[in-house]
Structure 1
Amino acid sequence: MTRWLHHLSLLLSLCLALTACNRVDLAYRNLDMLIPWTLDDYLDMNSQQKDWLDERLKQHLSWHCSTQLPGYLDWLSGLQQMIASNEVSEDALQRRTLEARQAIAQTARQITPSAVELLQGMSDQQVKGMNQVFAKDLREHRDKYLKPPLAQQIRQRGERMDKRLSDWLGPLNPAQKERVTAWSTALGEQNQQWIANRAHWQAQFSAAMAQRQSTDFAPRIEALLVDRESLWTPAYRQAFSDTEAQARSLLVDLMDQSSANQRQRLVQKIDKLRSNLQALKCLRT
């Protein structure tokens, strides 16, 4: 299904916000992409549960398209203007990121009651399978992101960012590549805090699912899916704040170092995304 749970935490910067916004278009071609939490990744749903979820997703999609999508289009227009006028600043990025988070949180809050209803109906066997998948997920993430030596982690992080940026700007110039390397180096052992917090979240989710018939299940799930920051470990909260600041600084510097062609490419890609969203049938009914 979707990996939105992971991607939401990456809305730290213009680049990563754009990556997430690109999935908005996919959401309207694959209904399950709209859900801001992971289901099929962790839960083995039966056919009846899947059919029920599909119907709920159609309702949520209709609500989202009529009430939320117009705001996304305005958000993208503001982003285009900021880039076209070459006025990308840390303050501007911070405002745009906050707007994106608020929009995502509103959608998550709207959909969470459906998640609560679905999760409460999970069998003990399904919950057991979920916990096994959680354990496998952590093993895989630790193997991929923590086992490599720190120098390799830094290099791979830089390569991932280079790829994301190149998708939107085109090939980076030498100064930009050097700045990406400096950004990745400055983050140091950030992978450690990220995965520790991931384990912390999964443990809390498992604990809530073990008591899914309790009266406080709904608010616990809402906190886990909508107000995740309130449940972060102190170490990760600080790491996230530092990472966010580093991302804003990176993007400001990259835009300062950008060519007219790179900025034009970025504006055109955003314009194409806006056009695709504006063409959706749900906006014309």
Structure 2
Amino acid sequence: MSRRLKRLVFLATLSLTLCACNRVGLAYRNLDVIIPWSLSDYLDMTREQKGWFNDRLKEHLSWHCTTQLPGYLAWLDRLQHMVETHQINDAALQLRTQEAKQAIAQTARQITPSTVELLQGLNDQQVDEMNQAFAKDLQERQDQYVKPPLAQQIAQRGERMEKRLSDWLGPLSASQRERVVTWSNALGDQNQQWIANRAHWQAQFSAAVAQRQASDFPQRIETLLVNRETLWTPAYRQAYANTETQARSLIVDVMADSTPVQRQRLLKKIDKVRSDFSALKCLKTAQRT
């Protein structure tokens, strides 16, 4: 993951997309964040498929940079204003989160037709290999996040969050670290629900791809990519709602307890992200037209 991508991931974290542990990796620092999984991680494409995929990816990246990034810059402005005016509160975070989710859905909807076309062109061997890759991915995540005792899961989750926050705010105070511990404990066995839901999604995706020539295949893929929340298990739906609530509460409390030095560091980070995005050639071209 690139440093720039990590910056955006944290900003999304601050806006509550921190609770999503989705796969990233489609070679663009925004597009890969908002696509829930990466085809290249699971498919061994032929030379022809790779050529077609790269051409389509370029088109999607151009669309994304010229039509979506301006909105991202405005989103960063709103986030920066929240920090500057000490308005990191639950209502504001919910609003920023909703804006981020809308951006995710819009891009997922945009790339769905290309995803459908690629999947419909897979042969049976490629589908089998994709399913095997899914199974391997799931097992690795289970071993890392579910197999350890619950107390260890909670401790590791807290350590990951403390590192993320420290990267952007600098060293945390004792009270901030304690708040992170409280947050991690409040999530309980969320890892189990997340992995179970991931397995549920992968099973539905595999079932759809097995019938990739069916007339309803495009709609099934759109549901899986754009409206995936409608397919969540009841247990994960409840766990996710708790995750969002606990994450907002954590961010509000940590920022309320932040020092001027920490806030200044965060503002500099936000400004660096804005500068990086503003410097992209495709965005400059769009702004001149």
Give TM-score, length-normalised by structure 1. Answer: 0.91
- Using the alignment, how far apart are the partners of 2:15 and 2:255 within structure 1? 11
- Using the alignment, how far apart are the partners of 2:15 and 2:262 within structure 1? 15
Q: 1:32 to 1:250 in 2, by over 3 A?
A: closer
SS of 1:284's partner is helix
Query: Which residue of the partner structure matches residue 156 of structure 1?
Result: 156
Question: Does the Cα contact within 8 Å between 1:187 and 1:243 map onto a contact in 2?
Answer: yes
> Pairwise mapping of residues 178-257 of structure 1 onto structure 2 (< 5 A)?
178-257=178-257
Letter in 2 for 1:57: L
- Using the alignment, how far apart are the partners of 1:168 and 1:106 within structure 2? 28
- Using the alignment, how far apart are the partners of 1:32 and 1:230 within structure 2? 22
- Any gaps of 5 or more consecutive residues in structure 1? none
Question: Does the Cα contact within 8 Å between 1:31 and 1:57 map onto a contact in 2?
Answer: no
Shift of 1:104: 1.1
> Pairwise mapping of residues 73-88 of structure 1 onto structure 2 (< 5 A)?
73-88=73-88
Q: 1:81 to 1:181 in 2, by over 3 A?
A: same
Identity of aligned residues (%): 66
2:173 is equivalent to residue 173 of structure 1: yes
Shift of 1:36: 4.7
Question: Does the Cα contact within 8 Å between 1:138 and 1:199 map onto a contact in 2?
Answer: yes
- Using the alignment, how far apart are the partners of 1:197 and 1:49 within structure 2? 30
Letter in 2 for 1:14: S
Give TM-score, length-normalised by structure 2. Answer: 0.89
Shift of 1:217: 0.4
Query: Which residue of the partner structure matches residue 14 of structure 1?
Result: 15
Residue by residue over 1:166-219, the C-alpha shift from the partner in whole angstroms, topping out at 9 and shown as x without a partner, is: 111111111100000000011111111000000000000000010000000000
Letter in 1 for 2:245: A
- Any gaps of 5 or more consecutive residues in structure 2? none
Q: 1:34 to 1:210 in 2, by over 3 A?
A: same
Q: 1:27 to 1:135 in 2, by over 3 A?
A: same
Aligned residues: 277
- Using the alignment, how far apart are the partners of 2:13 and 2:220 within structure 1? 25
- Using the alignment, how far apart are the partners of 2:31 and 2:91 within structure 1? 34
Question: Does the Cα contact within 8 Å between 2:162 and 2:177 map onto a contact in 1?
Answer: yes
Question: Does the Cα contact within 8 Å between 1:168 and 1:269 map onto a contact in 2?
Answer: yes
- Using the alignment, how far apart are the partners of 1:221 and 1:129 within structure 2? 19
Query: Which residue of the partner structure matches residue 137 of structure 2?
Result: 137
Question: Does the Cα contact within 8 Å between 1:119 and 1:212 map onto a contact in 2?
Answer: yes
Question: Does the Cα contact within 8 Å between 1:12 and 1:244 map onto a contact in 2?
Answer: no
SS of 1:87's partner is coil
Question: Does the Cα contact within 8 Å between 1:31 and 1:58 map onto a contact in 2?
Answer: no
